[in-house]
């Protein structure tokens, strides 16, 4: 299906199809229908139910910060990009600072996507392997080839329309699983009772300790910064908002996006309650039916739908749809950034549309192939939600800090932005990788909610008790890891953002502040009232060209 859509919307206007300039005629409804899917990937579909099953409902409270994120984006960040009408969000860094800072931002974005997409590919392969028994390493290349095909052939327009189809499939699959699971679980009241008795219902842990994996504060404050980075400055989101015919419609897109995300997050979290209600007396992981908690949802779906032909396939197609949507959006935005920020500025002779289009197709194939090779590393990591959040924060926090430094602090200069971004990125990389290594060694373990095996087969319980009474080794007393390694991964983006801003301000002050007067269109509307000596703006003059001349 994706291939047929990509043929319909095959590239007709060269590299413009990969960007945004001729997409104004795509109905806003199509963006509204598929935007949430681009942000709720297969990671969420498999990872969130496992998170709720294993650690309880505290993670569900991430939805409390979504509304504030949409308001912040609509009022503070999006108007700047829309006013400038730039091709990539990282072009802003060149206008506000210089080409070096733009290059740093582009490289950080590419690093983030190269770490994120392999996890996205791994998820549907894991689900398909669980349902069919086929080795996931055989499935992974197929997923990637399909996605590369329709992204290469159709560009952003094909991505938008295929995402629309995939949204319908994914939501349909989730609704079927939720409906059947609720019925099989004895109704909503019984599902809730079993989870409450099992200690899963925990929404308001108000402990301020930042080393606790999930509290109300870590998930709400931490998620605010994480989603602000994902929505406000992310190339994929900016690309789609700038394709809207007006800023008002872009605001509507953001609002519907947030509502859609909140609904999909709630659906995924509720499936975690359904899974626990089904296995509250016989944990599949302890029993050995599955190897890791991320396989819980595929296992559960096969359990409740095995007697109904077609439904397991519908579920797998839903997971594939979410993964393909996220991957295609990522490939398309990465292609635009590589071409506009890393190639185009260094080409003296402008490329023809045909050559530019061919070059972008080659870029899509190359980065897609690299991402497939990196899937093998994903298997060695911990829970999907924490792994994706930790790796994403390595660049998300510094990038949010650099953009915020430029939009909210007129005195910030290029050196401050550059040093702030590098220091912030280095800090979060150290914390994230160090934490993953400590977890791999077993030095960091997070307390899980209790599980039961009293309802498992008697023969298995006897074997389990024998193993429990005769352990292979004596437990060792371990020294607590360094305090930053114990910091909740939800805070990584916030720490990265604040570090970039603070270091950037200090370095800018020590190096003589900004030597150029910053054009007001490069600053967030939130601080316009505090600006002095504002010059009248001629709306008939090209803003970007005017800013470039002023910076000379």
- Tens digit of each residue's pLDDT, the chain (552 residues): 444 444 444 444 444 444 444 444 444 444 444 444 455 566 777 888 989 999 999 999 999 888 898 889 889 998 898 888 887 788 899 899 988 998 898 888 888 888 778 877 777 777 677 667 777 777 777 777 776 665 565 444 544 555 556 567 677 778 888 998 999 889 999 999 999 999 899 898 998 989 888 999 999 999 999 889 888 887 767 777 777 777 887 788 788 878 888 888 899 999 999 999 999 888 888 888 887 787 888 888 888 877 777 777 777 776 776 677 677 777 777 887 788 778 877 787 777 777 777 787 788 788 878 877 777 776 666 556 666 667 778 888 999 999 999 999 998 999 999 999 999 999 999 998 888 788 777 777 788 888 888 888 776 665 555 545 445 444 455 677 778 888 888 899 999 999 999 999 999 999 886 667 888 889 999 998 887 755 444 444 455 655 555 554
What pLDDT does residue 393 have?
81
CATH code linked to domain 2-470+478-551? 1.20.1730.10
What pLDDT does residue 418 have?
95
Q: How many residues does the chain have?
A: 552
Angle, helices 99-132/311-337, rounded to nearest 10 degrees = 160
Give the separation between CA 144 and CA 371, rounded to whole angstroms.
Answer: 9
What pLDDT does residue 47 have?
83
- Closest C-alpha among 95, 340, 357, 111 to residue 239: 340
Two tokens, residue 534: 């504002």
Question: Residue 539's CB: how many other CB atoms inside 10 A?
Answer: 6
Write down the H helix ranges in 28-98: 28-39, 42-55, 66-72, 78-84, 91-96
Give the separation between CA 362 and CA 374, rounded to whole angstroms.
Answer: 19
List Cα–Cα distances, 87 to 235, 504, 540, 544, in angstroms. Answer: 9, 26, 20, 11
What pLDDT does residue 187 have?
92
Element (H, E) at 181: helix 136-184
**Are 149 and 3 spatial neighbours (Cβ–Cβ below 8 Å)?**
yes
Give the separation between CA 190 and CA 196, rounded to whole angstroms.
Answer: 10
What pLDDT does residue 542 have?
55
What pLDDT does residue 502 have?
96
Two tokens, residue 83: 């006013």
What pLDDT does residue 153 have?
57
Give the separation between CA 44 and CA 323, rounded to whole angstroms.
Answer: 10
- The domain segmentation of the chain, as residue ranges, is 2-470+478-551
**Are 271 and 174 spatial neighbours (Cβ–Cβ below 8 Å)?**
yes
Give the separation between CA 90 and CA 268, rounded to whole angstroms.
Answer: 33
What pLDDT does residue 451 have?
87
């Amino acid at each position: 299906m994706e291939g047929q859509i990509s043929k319909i919307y095959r590239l007709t206007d060269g590299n413009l199809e990969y960007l945004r300039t001729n997409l104004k005629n795509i109905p806003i409804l199509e963006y509204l229908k598929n935007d949430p899917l681009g942000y709720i990937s297969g990671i969420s579909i498999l990872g969130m139910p496992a998170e709720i099953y294993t650690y309880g409902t505290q993670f569900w409270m991430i939805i409390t910060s979504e509304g504030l994120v949409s308001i912040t984006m609509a009022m503070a960040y999006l108007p700047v990009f829309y006013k400038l009408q730039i091709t990539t969000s990282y072009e802003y860094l060149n206008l506000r600072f210089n080409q070096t800072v733009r290059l740093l931002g582009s490289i950080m974005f590419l690093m983030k996507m190269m770490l994120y997409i392999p996890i996205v590919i791994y998820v549907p392969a894991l689900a398909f392997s669980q349902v069919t028994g086929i080795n996931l390493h055989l499935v992974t290349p197929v997923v990637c080839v399909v996605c590369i095909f329709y992204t290469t052939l159709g560009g952003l327009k094909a991505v938008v329309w295929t995402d629309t189809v995939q949204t319908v499939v994914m939501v349909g699959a989730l609704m079927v699983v939720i409906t059947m699971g609720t019925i099989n679980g004895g109704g909503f009241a019984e599902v809730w009772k079993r989870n409450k008795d099992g200690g899963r219902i925990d929404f308001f842990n108000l402990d301020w300790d930042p080393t606790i994996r999930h509290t109300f504060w870590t998930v709400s404050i931490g998620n605010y910064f994480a989603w602000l980075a994902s929505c406000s400055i992310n190339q994929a989101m900016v690309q789609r908002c700038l394709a809207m015919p007006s800023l008002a419609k872009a605001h509507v897109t953001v609002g519907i996006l947030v509502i859609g995300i909140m609904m999909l997050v709630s659906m995924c979290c509720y499936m975690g309650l359904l899974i626990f209600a089904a296995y509250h007396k016989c944990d599949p992981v302890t029993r050995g039916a599955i190897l890791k908690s991320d396989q819980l949802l595929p296992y559960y779906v096969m359990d409740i739908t095995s007697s109904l032909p077609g439904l397991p396939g519908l579920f797998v197609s839903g997971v594939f749809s979410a993964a393909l949507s996220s991957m295609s959006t990522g490939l398309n935005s990465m292609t635009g950034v590589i071409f506009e920020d890393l190639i185009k500025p260094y080409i003296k002779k402008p490329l023809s549309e045909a050559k530019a289009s061919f070059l972008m197709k080659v870029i899509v194939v190359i980065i897609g192939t690299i991402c497939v090779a990196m899937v093998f590393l994903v298997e060695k990591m911990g829970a999907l939600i924490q792994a994706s959040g930790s790796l994403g924060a390595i660049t998300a926090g510094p990038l949010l800090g650099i953009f915020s430094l430029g939009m909210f602090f007129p005195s910030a200069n290029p050196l401050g932005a550059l040093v702030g971004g590098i220091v912030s990125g280095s800090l979060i990389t150290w914390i994230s990788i160090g934490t993953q290594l400590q977890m791999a060694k077993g030095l960091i373990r997070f307390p899980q909610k209790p599980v039961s095996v009293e309802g498992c087969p008697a023969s298995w319980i006897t074997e389990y008790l024998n193993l429990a009474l005769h352990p292979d080794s004596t437990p060792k007393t371990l020294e607590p890891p360094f305090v930053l390694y114990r910091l909740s991964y939800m805070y990584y983006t916030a720490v990265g953002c604040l570090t970039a801003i603070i270091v950037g301000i200090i370095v800018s002050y020590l190096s003589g502040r900004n030597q150029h007067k910053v054009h007001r269109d490069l600053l967030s509307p939130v601080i316009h009232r505090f600006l002095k000596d504002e010059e009248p703006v001629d709306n008939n003059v090209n803003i970007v060209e005017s800013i470039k001349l002023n910076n000379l």
